[in-house]
Structures are given as C-alpha cells and as structure tokens.
C-alpha cells in the first residue's frame, strides 16, 4: 500500500489532519479492505510526525472502525465496517398525531421552537458554563476514577442548603439528595411513595411527562383543573374525599404549562385540604427561580412531612447541566439514597461540581437575574402579539418561561401544530398536556422562543390557513 505525504495546514492539529486524510482514502476506496498499512516507523518518516502523534491518529481510526490492528503484525484497513443505510429503516415509534407532535418538544427538531421547554442557547451564559467546566476538569478535587457520592457532592448540597434557607426552607444537609434530573428524581420517588393501584392527583393541564411516568408505575390518575384562581376548592375536597389519592404531584410556582403561581392564600387552603385527607404532595419546582418575586413554596409553608420538594438547574443553566435534587423528610431521604445506589442513579460529580461552583461563586445568581428580567420584557411583547392574533390569555403573564393561550374560536390546536411542524416550527397544543377536551383549544408558548418576528408571522399565516 502506498501512503502519500500530507501537506499539513497551520492552525489544525496534525492528528486531526492525519485522521481526515486516512479516512478519505478508506472511504473513497483508495485503500482496499484488508490491506496492510506501512509500519509505524515508515509512516512517521513519510508524514514527518512523531510516533506519539501517529499512534494517536491510528487509535482514533480504530475507534471509528476504519482500521484494525494485530499485535506484532501492524495495522490493516477494516474489512467489516458497518455502512449506514436507511433504505429499509422503519420508524417503530408511535405514529398517532399527539406522539408525533410530542417528540419534537424533546429534541432539537425545528428552526422555530415557540412550543419548546428550554431557553434558547443564545440566552444562556454559555461562556461562564464553559469556563467553569474547564476549571473543574483541571482541579485535582475532581475524582476521575471514582463514582460520585451516593447522596450527592457534599459542597453542592451545602450550597443548596444555603439557597433553600434563603427561600424559607431550612433543612439539614442530609435531607438534600441529588439526582441526575428531575424526571429520574420523580421516578425514584414514585417507586418509594406509591404502589400499583394507588391513586395520584395531577393538575389539568400538567407537564405531559407526568402522565407518561405515572403510567409506568401502574397508578390511577385523577385530575383537578388548574384555574386563574387556583382551584375550585369545593370540587377539590370532593375529589379528595371520593378518590383518597395518596399523592398529589404539582407545581406551585410558575406551573408548566400555564405559568400560574399559587398565592399564599391558595397555597394555605390547598395544604389544609391535602393534610386533612392524608394526601402527600410532591412539589416540582423546576421553574420557580425564573419568577421575579416568587411566593413561598409549599414545602416552606408546610414542611417536609407533608411536602417533598424537587428541583433542578436544566432550565436556567443548560439542558445538558442535568443536576437536580430532592429535599425530603429524613427517612425518605435515606431511602432515596439507597435507591440511587441500587438503581445506578448516582449523579455525575463533574456536573455537580460545575453547579456547585456557579452557585458558590455567584455566576448562577447573576445569570438568573438577567434571565428573569429578559423574560419579563419578552413576555410583555409576546402577550401583545398573541392578543392581536385573537388569542385569550386566561392566566395572565407574571413571569417565567410560559404563556398559556386560548386559540381563536374554530382553530384546532393539533392540526395547527401539525401544519406548523411541516414549516419547521414546533408548537405545543393543549392536548399534549392532558386529556380534558377543554384544553384542546389552548396552546403553550415559550416566551423566549416566541419573541421573534418570524414566529409571529408564521403563526398568523397558519391561523388564517387553518382557522
């Protein structure tokens, strides 16, 4: 086999240039499968590089399954490389309309994402996150070869303890348990707090993953409508008395999808009723830090014997900074730690250290403050153009990421979202957030992604064509 010299370009590592040149020779058929490469000594002389540089490039080519090696015999072009093909590919995922509309909400599909559940990358403090990552990776305190601490990195839990204290929730550090993300935290809590056949109470509407997750646990779900005034408390008491749910999974501050927050009076009445009927509350507080002046959380008002608290940082820092935490009564916290060990749910210490540094060094607080202000400004503009389009806003906007809008009369939210998806825009129709027919004329809008003329223009066009 003949290997020609490479004219290296300044500014690009030689390893990458060797990998690219060898890959092209293999992919283009210049090097036939099974053919033997020259020896390492010959290649280093031909290319004019060190043995270290060449070996690193060869290792990367082996990792791509382009080369194989044999002790004492050298390197060979792979003969059984897997070649990608899509000719016979079949999509085995559910193909009903709601499943098709739900999938883009959890992926990067679509150029325009007014229905998405995260902030745009341009809004995030990516540089601060990268700097912190680099600093953590270089620090000797990062244990590369060890698993994370079962309950979570102690300095992070201490920083969370201080954060929670400032929000009116004073707990011991042993009651704070980190989890890889809030969905896994909820899943582990459900395994500890519920049994198949138990009844669990949800809001209507609510985050669509709640229904999906609870279905995996075999529980019975009942719902209570979430209204601008909180709840119909007479109806809530009747529901609690009739169904006797053991758990109520809810969000008290900046509820997803409505953006509604419970007032102290509403929260107090809710806590009275759930305590009377022995219904434990799991409070999902993933968005509360985006409220400009958040009311007290349920856990702070009632304590952890009645409320288990769940939160995280994926919505404010980054969707990839998936560090969350549960705050629970002592025995439940101990049981959760044991479950993390038994189920392999120990959190990545790398990201725990990143979040700890951003909390302790103040960059998280600064970023949060900027996001709150920016969302408030964008929310005002989005409210205006939604109303101009004929939408009603039953909840009103009080901050945070979401606006819940009622579509103009005669508009089918699912068909509107289906038409938008064909135009590269992801919408979140109300039918995704529960089974109540009343929700089918509504839609959730992400304020950050909706504050864009292209979104408004396309939405208006789609309304005219589907209304």
Is pLDDT at 237 greater than 80 in this prediction? yes
More confident of the two residues 331 and 12: 331
Q: Quote the CA–CA distance of 356 and 364 in Å, as a whole number.
A: 9
The number of CA neighbours under 13 Å toward the Cβ of 101 is 21
Q: Which CATH architecture has domain 97-117+366-465?
A: Alpha-Beta Complex (3.90)
The angle formed by the CA atoms of residues 32, 37 and 38, to the nearest 5 degrees, is 140
CA-nearest of 371, 335, 341, 330 to 173 is 330
Instruction: Report the pLDDT value the prediction gives residue 249, as an integer from 0 to 100.
Output: 97
237 vs 199, 224, 283, CA distance in Å? 15, 10, 19
Average pLDDT over residues 39-66: 90
Banded pLDDT at 443 (limits 50, 70, 90): very high
pLDDT tens, position by position, 165-175: 999 999 999 99
Predicted local distance difference test score (pLDDT) of residue 140: 79
Q: What pLDDT does 1 receive? A: 67
Q: How distant is the alpha carbon of residue 397 from its chain centre?
A: 23
Question: C-alpha angle with apex 107: 104 to 112, nearest 5 degrees?
Answer: 65
Q: How many CB atoms lie within 10 A of CB 40?
A: 14
Q: Which CATH architecture has domain 14-77?
A: Orthogonal Bundle (1.10)
DSSP H stretches of helix in 194-246? 208-216, 233-243
Residue 385 has pLDDT above 90, yes or no: yes
Cβ-proximal residues to 55 (8 Å cutoff; 6+ apart), any chain: 40
Domain ranges of the chain: 14-77, 97-117+366-465, 126-361
Of 243, 250, 227, residue with least CA distance to 297: 250
Q: What is the pLDDT of residues 284-302, one digit of tens each?
A: 999 999 999 999 999 999 9
Q: What is the mean pLDDT of residues 57-63?
A: 90
Average pLDDT over residues 37-47: 92
- Check residue 380 and give its pLDDT: 96
**Would you state the pLDDT for residue 124?**
85
Tell me the pLDDT tens digit for each residue of 313-361: 988 888 777 789 999 999 999 999 999 888 877 788 888 999 999 999 9
**Phi, psi for 203 (deg, rounded to 5):** -75, 155
Provide the pLDDT confidence category of residue 458 given band limits of 50, 70 and 90: very high
Residue 92 predicted with pLDDT over 70: no
Taking the C-alpha atoms of residue 364 and residue 50, their distance in angstroms, rounded to an integer, is 44
304 in helix, strand or coil?
A: coil
Residue 108 pLDDT exceeds 70: no
CATH 3.40.640.10 fits 126-361, yes or no: yes
Q: CB–CB of 136/335 below 8 Å?
A: no
pLDDT over 60 (residue 85): no
Separation of alpha carbons 19 and 22, rounded Å: 5
Q: What gap in Å lies between CA 374 and CA 25, rounded to an integer?
A: 51
Say what the pLDDT of residue 83 is.
54
Predicted confidence (pLDDT) per residue in 140-164, tens digit: 777 766 666 889 999 999 999 999 9
CA dist., res. 3 & res. 139, Å (int): 42
Joined together, the tokens standing for residue 285 give: 């507080």
Give me 338's structure tokens.
Answer: 């044991």
- pLDDT surpasses 70 at 91: no
pTM of the complete model beyond 0.95: no
Q: Which long-range contacts (CB under 8 A, 24 or more apart) does 16-25 make?
A: 18/47, 18/49, 18/53, 18/54, 18/57, 19/57, 19/60, 19/61, 22/57, 22/61, 22/66, 22/67, 23/61, 23/64, 23/66
The whole-angstrom separation of Cα 371 and Cα 66 is 46
Angle at 68 (CA atoms; ends 62, 73), nearest 5 degrees: 130
H or E segment at 249? Answer: strand 247-250
- At 229 the pLDDT is 86
Residues above pLDDT 70, as percent of the chain = 94
What's the pLDDT at 290?
96
């Amino acid at each position: 086999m003949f290997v020609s010299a490479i004219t290296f370009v300044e500014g690009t590592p030689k390893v990458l240039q060797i990998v690219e040149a060898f890959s092209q020779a293999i992919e283009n058929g210049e090097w036939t499968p099974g053919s033997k490469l020259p020896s390492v000594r010959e290649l280093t002389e031909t290319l004019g590089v060190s043995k270290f540089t060449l070996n690193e490039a060869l290792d990367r080519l082996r990792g791509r399954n382009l080369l194989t090696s044999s002790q004492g015999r050298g390197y060979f072009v792979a003969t059984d490389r897997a070649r990608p093909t899509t000719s016979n590919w079949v999509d085995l995922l559910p193909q009903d309309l709601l499943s098709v509309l739900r999938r883009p909400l959890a992926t990067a599909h679509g150029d325009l994402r007014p229905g998405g559940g995260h902030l745009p990358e341009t809004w995030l403090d990516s540089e601060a996150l990268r700097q912190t990552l680099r600093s953590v990776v270089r620090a000797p305190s990062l244990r590369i070869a060890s698993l994370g601490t079962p309950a979570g990195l102690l300095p992070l839990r201490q920083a969370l303890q201080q954060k929670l204290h400032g929000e009116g929730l004073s707990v011991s550090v042993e009651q704070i348990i980190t989890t890889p993300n809030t969905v896994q935290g909820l899943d582990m809590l459900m395994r500890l707090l519920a049994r198949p056949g138990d009844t669990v109470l949800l809001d209507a509407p609510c985050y669509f993953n709640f229904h999906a997750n609870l279905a995996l646990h075999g529980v019975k779900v009942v719902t209570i409508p979430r209204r601008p005034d909180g709840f119909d408390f007479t109806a809530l008491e009747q529901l609690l008395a009739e169904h006797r749910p053991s758990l109520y999974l809810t969000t008290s501050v900046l509820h997803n999808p409505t953006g509604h927050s419970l007032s102290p009076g509403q929260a107090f009445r809710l806590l009275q009723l759930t305590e009377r009927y022995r219904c434990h509350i799991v409070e999902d507080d993933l968005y509360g830090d985006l409220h400009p002046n958040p009311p007290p959380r349920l856990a702070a008002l009632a304590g952890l014997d009645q409320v288990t608290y769940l939160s995280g940082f994926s919505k404010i820092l980054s969707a990839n900074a998936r560090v969350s935490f549960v705050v629970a009564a002592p025995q439940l916290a101990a049981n959760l730690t044991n479950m993390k060990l038994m189920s392999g749910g120990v959190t990545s210490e790398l990201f725990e250290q990143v979040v700890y540094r951003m909390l302790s060094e103040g960059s998280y607080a600064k970023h949060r403050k900027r996001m709150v202000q920016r969302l408030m400004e964008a929310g005002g503009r989005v409210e205006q153009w939604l109303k101009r389009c004929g939408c009603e806003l039953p909840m009103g906007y009080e901050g945070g990421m979401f606006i819940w809008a009622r579509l103009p009369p005669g508009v089918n939210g699912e068909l509107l979202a289906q038409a938008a998806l064909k135009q590269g825009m992801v919408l979140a129709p109300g039918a995704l957030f529960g089974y109540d027919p009343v929700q089918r004329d509504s839609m959730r809008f992400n304020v950050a992604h909706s504050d864009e003329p292209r979104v408004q223009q396309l939405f208006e066009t789609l309304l005219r064509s589907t209304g």
